[in-house]
A = this chain, B = another copy of it.
Amino acid sequence: MSKQRIAVDMDEVLTDTVSRFQDWYGRDFGRALTAEDMHGRHLLEVVAPEHRVALRAYLDADGFFRDLPLIADSQRVMRELAERYELFVATAAMDFPGSFRDKYDWLQRYFPFIPTRNYVFCGDKSILNADYLIDDNGYNFERFRGEGLLFSAPHNARETRFRRVNNWSEVAAVLL
């Protein structure tokens, strides 16, 4: 029997994108984004309305995705998953074409055991043919054909429709 297949999102699942937002936002506007601010809200809802355009522009800025910190335990658990499953990384890069190269380079650096042919840069994730999708956005599961695992992030604290995994150790407990 062929291996089951897992697709894994990047932002806020493998990469700590929030910390980069906090750094850049603090640098440019002199304000802090705290965990309390972000609980159950998207970043665009947290910042002052006049800062929203700048915040969105970060995502397409050269360097935003470069050298992003890792989410804790992601490398270790992904390496174990790669032995038992077909493992893909699927990231919604299409809204931010300036991010393509940074994301590609980041994956090669931190997850060299995943072949580049298993990277998927897409938009609508219902195009994925996989058994599991690990993602921090519940809307990506609505038309997904497999089982969604909602990876906890501050913004999704109020999402209750999908099975939740709070961290990579919990991913390991479910899938290994």
Contact = CB atoms under 8 A, between A and B. Distances in A.
A87 B7 CA distance: 21
Contact of A122 (B101, B120, B123): B120
Q: What is the total number of copies of this protein in its complex? A: 2
A120 B129 contact: no
Contacts of A117: 92, 94-95, 122-124
Given A97-B104, A100-B101, A123 B118 contact: yes
Contacts of A129: 126-129, 145
B130 A119 contact: no
Interface string A18-54: 0000000000000000000000000000000000000
A112 interface: no
Contacts of A88: 124, 127
Tell me whether chain A's interface is mostly helix, strand or loop, or mixed: mixed
Interface string A75-103: 00000000000001010111101001100
Most chain B CB within 10 A, of A104, A123, A129, is at: A129
A62 to B, nearest CB: 12
A94 B103 CA distance: 12
Shortest Cβ-Cβ A-B pairs, 9 listed: A117-B123, A129-B129, A100-B100, A121-B121, A94-B116, A120-B122, A117-B124, A97-B104, A94-B119
Interface of A: 5, 7, 88, 90, 92-95, 97, 100-101, 104, 115-124, 126-130, 145
12 contacts: A94-B117, A95-B117, A97-B104, A100-B101, A100-B121, A116-B123, A117-B122, A118-B123, A119-B123, A120-B127, A122-B122, A129-B145
